[in-house]
Structure 1
Amino acid sequence: MNNEKALVWFRRDLRDNDHAALSAALADGQAVYCAFVFDSEILDALPSKHDRRVHFIRESLLELDAALRAKGGGLIVRHGRATEEIPGLAHQLGVKTVFANRDYEPAAKRRDAEVAARLAAFGIAFVHMKDQAIFDGHEVLTQAGKPFSVFTPYKNAWLKRLTAADCASWPDQGRYAGGELAGVPGLDEIGFKTTDLAELGIRPGMSGARALWEEFAAGRIQRYGALRDFPAIKGVSYLSVHLRFGTLSIRELVRTALASGADTWLSELIWRDFYFMILDHFPHVVGHAFKPDYDAIQWESWSAGYAAWCQGRTGYPLVDAGMRQLNHCGWMHNRLRMIVASFLTKDLGLDWRLGEKYFAEQLNDFDLSANNGGWQWASSSGCDAQPYFRIFNPVTQSEKFDPEGSFIRRYVPELAKLANKYIHAPWQMGRGEQEALGVVIGRDYPAPLVDHGRAREKTLARYAVVKKAV
């Protein structure tokens, strides 16, 4: 029997099944320890100690620990700098190899390089596995051998390369080691507070992911293309937070999408790989435009406008409903993410990085690659972005995607009494009607921050600096 030992470092992959790093460690015949680090470098930078994501992780770890214990193992949980905790733990346990799944964020890559160097000093190998993406690195390239910067050709190449083996599940048979199993610390032990996950119906862990996935796959997945743009309708999967923290496997989702003929939903999963690839190959997108010419744009300096956008007080009902949904539950419907991002950058003329930062603080499913990609798409500064002259009209978008005003009424209740013809642009009501309904614009609900038509002209002028680059 192989008496050597290995350590699997869990990060954004909080499950015990179809797990590339875990499977690779077990396949080596080594006794496998499992660990997670509440990384103080990440936690200390969070603006609030009531962070739903930390709570979600902690609850998911409880379930993961129980699942690993049922297999003879368990989870060693540490709190500190991962760059110190993982090498120290690996050395203490006397392992030969540390296994982890790849992360594509620049900070994570720097962290992993430091961990690898410290492990090497102990004579311990560090093995990275591909897990959160179907393809990564140099697996999908242009005919010239370069990374793609346009989605559709990337998608076509992705699909052409895909085989059954690429989305097959990883086995998990092997020997687990128990180690120093002190259990998962409480939130208070790592300096955080309980949040409202249960009140919001957010169920963490593998079981939460499985329940959502089975419900979606049983029927809605085939209607996703028809329903996905309407925020008042239950049309999307709501799996984004589970994909972010890896409580279910991307490979299972791709297999089901292919088997169901759910091409539109499969495209969304490919977009996820695409943005991982962009972040991996073009790390300058963190803080800078993918297209450097767009860094020359002169944005407005308007703190009151930004605050109104954050609070859902812009005077445009669907924009405000989307922002209030985000503030209430840490999630926003994807169509609304595009609308509110377009409004911030092209109606208010504010820097896309302000919106990117606010989303990063608020979203339960915050993922740097997708968040950065989405914001750069909306501001026209990113790869394969919408043209700078394409500017969403917040009123027509509202009329098209929330025609009865159902979503607006849910999140902007002060407008609940308005007739459908006014719900999208309440300032068009006469003063008498406003008084009669108790919704006086400027008193009970804000007047529009900007006139969309005039704002559009200002945006076209603002983007003139990059016209030649388009």
Structure 2
Amino acid sequence: MGSVLVWFRRDFRLQDHLALSEALTYCKKNKSELVFVFQLNRRFFQESENSLRLQYFMATVKDFGERCRKLGTELLIVEGDTDEAFQQVLKEHADAEAVFFNLDEAGYGKERDQKMRDWFKDREISVHSFQDAYIHGPNEVLKKDGSIYKVFAPYYKAWKQKDKPGVKKLSFDELGKYVRKTKQISKRAASEIEKLSGGSESMDWKIGEKAARSQLKHFIEQALANYPDGRNIPFVKGTSLMSRYLKTGTISPRTVFTAIAQADGEEDSKEAYIRELAFRDFYQMIYARHPETKNQEFLEAYRSIQWNQDDRMLQAWKEGNTGYPIVDAGMRQLNQEGWMHNRLRMITASFLTKDLMIDWRLGEEYFAAKLVDYDPGSNIGGWQWAASVGTDAVPYFRVFNPVTQSKRFDRDGEYIRKYVSELREVPSSYIHEPWKMSEEEQSKSSCMIGKDYPAPAVDHQEQRKKVINLFKNEK
């Protein structure tokens, strides 16, 4: 009886998992046993051990390991470069005859998968890989001539016309019959997961497959009906919070799509949410076909822009000390929780690139280090959209006014007060523009501008003119 390796990377679930489903079918046919593997790559250690993103990811791995244990097996944690890690696995499971995994189609993961296909084949281990992370992969929604869509509207029209993949249901009991009773190969690597997830218990995180499904159910019952409006109000729980679960693969996009499509309620609300799932696919397609956009503007016309080199301003933005309450609230939420409401992602990105005129790459890099739901395609696409340098981006002359955005989406300042403690006593009439308070009003509010809370880093109207001229000169 041979073994079948199932290589988990960012798909930590036992339900609706293409690679696992196909591996189980293979085992039934060939009377083989399932062996679950996770590679702890040294790339993980390049991040700070205090990184919330790293903690969240490793806490998810830990949770999945416990779930595998209930199934009757171990999630084998092996450390090192990919070939080194699997060499360790083969020493213990020399009868491996096949490997199943859900592939990566962009960035480092794509290169790794291409390399490991050859590595496994050289050892006469058959390779079975699947597109599982997106509803439609980068090569599925294309123009008739095989080229990609560069504008979302026609892409979405074509996306909607495609048949949607169904949910793969797996029986927990049936899986239990085919898993091999394994032991950890490296106690050090297994303990490293424990160490790297340290501190996650103190965060208000609900982690794992059960939490993902519970959150989806809660969203459909409580917030989907008002999603078109509620999703824009940061203090209201109007979003699904699925991004972190999709990032770690504790729920599949097919499961999310199917649940939303089959839910009761207004079609407009469901359509608004499904459109966001399509946006996720769209940005992944752009990144997969144009990996250079990680470091280069999609629009060639803007590749020579001379962005401001101002470390002091950049640091103020990172810390949430720009003097613009809505911007600072968003950045402080990111630093404290490893997450930020999507409306605030747009506001803070626009502020960095249009008001401070600082390179979008620096913002993308900071978000990448902080966000627990970091998805390269979506993050890069979002930043290039805000900076007006990407495909189908916001026009360069559309510059978010942070005060207007604040008044519109946090009218009473509840979100601001939650994250900017210095402003908690500031009256609602000044919460969006505290610098307009008189000295007497500042004193009453225990918020002296320039002392307790910074004065605005820049004048928005002046910066708006400057950045528009900057882009005009590049055309």
Show CA shifts across 1:66-103 (max 9, x none): 43344443311112212321255246522121111011
More displaced 10-residue stretch of structure 1: 281-290 or 334-343: 281-290
Say whether 1:148 aligns with 2:156: no
| Separation in structure 2 between the aligned mates of residue 18 and residue 444 of structure 1, nearest angstrom | 51
Counterpart in 1 of 2:135? Answer: 134
Q: 1:336 aligns with which of 337, 344, 351?
A: 344
| Separation in structure 1 between the aligned mates of residue 15 and residue 216 of structure 2, nearest angstrom | 15
Show CA shifts across 1:391-414 (max 9, x none): 000000000000001111111121
| Separation in structure 2 between the aligned mates of residue 371 and residue 394 of structure 1, nearest angstrom | 21
Q: Which amino acid aligns with 2:200?
A: L
Q: Which amino acid aligns with 2:163?
A: L
**Matched-pair contact (CA < 8 Å) for 1:83–1:111:** no
**Matched-pair contact (CA < 8 Å) for 2:142–2:148:** yes
Show CA shifts across 1:130-179 (max 9, x none): 1111111421101332111111111111110124xx13225465522223
Counterpart in 1 of 2:322? Answer: 314
Q: Which amino acid aligns with 1:346?
A: K
| Separation in structure 2 between the aligned mates of residue 279 and residue 92 of structure 1, nearest angstrom | 38
1:182 is displaced (CA, Å) by 5.8
Task: Return closer, same or farther for 1:460/1:275 CA change in 2, 3 Å cut-off.
Answer: same
Counterpart in 2 of 1:168? Answer: 167
**Matched-pair contact (CA < 8 Å) for 1:62–1:184:** no
- 1:128 is paired with a residue of what secondary structure? strand
Describe how 1:228-239 pairs up with structure 2 within 5 A: 228-239=231-242
Describe how 1:271-420 pairs up with structure 2 within 5 A: 271-420=279-428
- 1:313 is paired with a residue of what secondary structure? coil
| Separation in structure 2 between the aligned mates of residue 26 and residue 91 of structure 1, nearest angstrom | 23
- 2:444 is paired with a residue of what secondary structure? helix
| Separation in structure 2 between the aligned mates of residue 342 and residue 306 of structure 1, nearest angstrom | 13
More displaced 10-residue stretch of structure 1: 86-95 or 403-412: 86-95
Q: Percent identity?
A: 38
Counterpart in 2 of 1:219? Answer: 222
**Matched-pair contact (CA < 8 Å) for 1:87–1:118:** no
Describe how 1:101-116 pairs up with structure 2 within 5 A: 101-116=102-117
**Matched-pair contact (CA < 8 Å) for 1:26–1:32:** yes
Counterpart in 2 of 1:31? Answer: 33
- 2:201 is paired with a residue of what secondary structure? coil
Q: Which amino acid aligns with 2:146?
A: G
**Matched-pair contact (CA < 8 Å) for 2:49–2:55:** no
Task: Return closer, same or farther for 1:309/1:99 CA change in 2, 3 Å cut-off.
Answer: same
| Separation in structure 2 between the aligned mates of residue 102 and residue 193 of structure 1, nearest angstrom | 25
Show CA shifts across 1:177-228 (max 9, x none): 2233469868863694554433331021112212322211222122211200
| Separation in structure 1 between the aligned mates of residue 212 and residue 184 of structure 2, nearest angstrom | 25
| Separation in structure 2 between the aligned mates of residue 170 and residue 271 of structure 1, nearest angstrom | 26
**Matched-pair contact (CA < 8 Å) for 1:319–1:394:** yes
Number of paired residues? Answer: 461
More displaced 10-residue stretch of structure 1: 397-406 or 356-365: 356-365
**Matched-pair contact (CA < 8 Å) for 2:89–2:185:** no
| Separation in structure 1 between the aligned mates of residue 82 and residue 425 of structure 2, nearest angstrom | 53
| Separation in structure 2 between the aligned mates of residue 413 and residue 266 of structure 1, nearest angstrom | 36
Counterpart in 1 of 2:121? Answer: 120
**Matched-pair contact (CA < 8 Å) for 2:334–2:371:** yes
Say whether 1:202 aligns with 2:205: yes
In the superposition, the TM-score normalised over structure 2's length comes to 0.92
Q: Which amino acid aligns with 2:17?
A: H
| Separation in structure 2 between the aligned mates of residue 170 and residue 284 of structure 1, nearest angstrom | 37
**Matched-pair contact (CA < 8 Å) for 2:78–2:185:** no
- 2:142 is paired with a residue of what secondary structure? coil
Task: Return closer, same or farther for 1:296/1:192 CA change in 2, 3 Å cut-off.
Answer: farther
Q: Gaps (5+ residues) in structure 1?
A: none
1:53 is displaced (CA, Å) by 3.3
1:126 is displaced (CA, Å) by 2.1
**Matched-pair contact (CA < 8 Å) for 2:184–2:190:** no
1:298 is displaced (CA, Å) by 0.7
Show CA shifts across 1:435-455 (max 9, x none): 332322111111111000100
More displaced 10-residue stretch of structure 1: 313-322 or 282-291: 282-291
1:59 is displaced (CA, Å) by 3.1
| Separation in structure 1 between the aligned mates of residue 35 and residue 430 of structure 2, nearest angstrom | 61
Counterpart in 2 of 1:454? Answer: 462
More displaced 10-residue stretch of structure 1: 9-18 or 364-373: 364-373
| Separation in structure 1 between the aligned mates of residue 11 and residue 450 of structure 2, nearest angstrom | 48
| Separation in structure 1 between the aligned mates of residue 193 and residue 212 of structure 2, nearest angstrom | 25
Task: Return closer, same or farther for 1:9/1:15 CA change in 2, 3 Å cut-off.
Answer: same
Say whether 1:67 aligns with 2:67: yes
| Separation in structure 2 between the aligned mates of residue 83 and residue 217 of structure 1, nearest angstrom | 43
**Matched-pair contact (CA < 8 Å) for 1:75–1:183:** no
